Structure 1
Amino acid sequence: MLVLLAFIIVFHITSAALLFIATIDNAWWVGEGFFTDIWRVCRNNSNCTEINDSLDDYTTIQAVQASMILSTILCCIALFIFVLQLFRLKQGERFVLTSIIQLLSCLCVMIAASIYTNQYEEIHKDKKFYEDITQGKYGYSFILAWIAFAFTLISGIMYLILRKRK
């Protein structure tokens, strides 16, 4: 049981790290000579422009930003609650709250990545920010967001299964 708990803690910390990297790092949409994320657009690794309300579809990118931040916060809260519940609750009552919060984190990261997937053409057609970057591809931060979705989903389900273990 101790090995299983250690594995779950490592898995949860990995999920949180993936969420932090996906939220912060600058590689959601990349191409030759540019890279962009949910916060800014950079050309030639030095000319960076912050994404702000002058973008035509700013509310869409704000929804992605808010969902990614919320998923990261919820994942960290779930880890904190897991550690508290591990020592506070009696057996059979553990980890339900942790599972619910982790599954909410999973839902938030899925919403963010889905919005970005569905709306990336709309987001990148604004000529003020994206003059030459329509010919790009999804970057590793975008892929990490989807991997974090899978990890948070698996860990949320593991907490529910672990609740019944003795």
Structure 2
Amino acid sequence: MLVVLAFIIVFHITSIVLLFISTIDNAWWVGDTFSVDIWRSCFTNGTNTVCKDIVSSNQSYQTIQTIQATMILSTILCCIGLLSFVLQLFRLKQGERFVLTAIIQMLSCLCVMIAASIYTSEHDQFHPAPVPGDGRYGYSFVIAWIAFAFTLMSSIMYLILRKRK
């Protein structure tokens, strides 16, 4: 049982790291001369890289704010889930354990899915490509979807683990 708990803790910490990377790093939409995330746009001209924050004058600013908020909320919920797991491990009796942690992880999973889905459907409205369709999804976007899968699996593991001794 100790090995299972250690595996779950490592899995949960991996989920948190993936969420932090996908939320912070500047690679949601990339091209040869630019990269865009949910916070700023960076353009490369030869050796110069110029980064600009996404401002409220952008026509899709509310959409971007929604993506930002759900990614931050997902990261916070995942961190709270880890804290909840540790506290429930020693405080609750068998059968009651980890239900709260599973619910928190499921909410984190839902937030990542919402953010990545909105970005998938609306990215063409706010990426800086000179020609529509120019560019590709970056690794931060892919990591967000992997974090979705990890948080979903960990919430299911917590539900299964709640009955184990």
TM-score band, normalised by shorter chain: over 0.9
CA RMSD of aligned residues (A): 1.1
Residue matched to 2:118: 115
Matched, 1:145 2:144: yes
State the AA in 1 paired with 2:70: S
Residue matched to 2:163: 164
**For structure 1, which runs of at least 5 residues remain unmatched after alignment?**
125-129
Whether contact under 8 Å (1:75, 1:101) holds in the other structure is yes
Residue matched to 1:54: 57
Matched, 1:74 2:77: yes
Q: For residues 52-98 of structure 1, what are the alpha-carbon distances to aligned partners after superposition, in whole Å with 9 as ceiling and x for unaligned?
A: 10101111111100000000000000000100001111122100000
Whether contact under 8 Å (2:129, 2:135) holds in the other structure is no
Provide closer, same or farther for how the CA distance between residues 29 and 131 of structure 1 changes in structure 2, counting only shifts above 3 A: closer
Provide closer, same or farther for how the CA distance between residues 133 and 2 of structure 1 changes in structure 2, counting only shifts above 3 A: farther
Q: Runs ≥4 in structure 1, deviation > 6 angstroms?
A: none
Q: Paired residues, what number? A: 161
Task: Report the 3-state secondary structure (helix = DSSP H, G, I; strand = E; otherwise coil) of the residue aligned with 1:105.
Answer: helix
The TM-score normalised by the length of structure 1 is: 0.94
Residue matched to 1:32: 32
The TM-score normalised by the length of structure 2 is: 0.95
Whether contact under 8 Å (1:60, 1:123) holds in the other structure is no
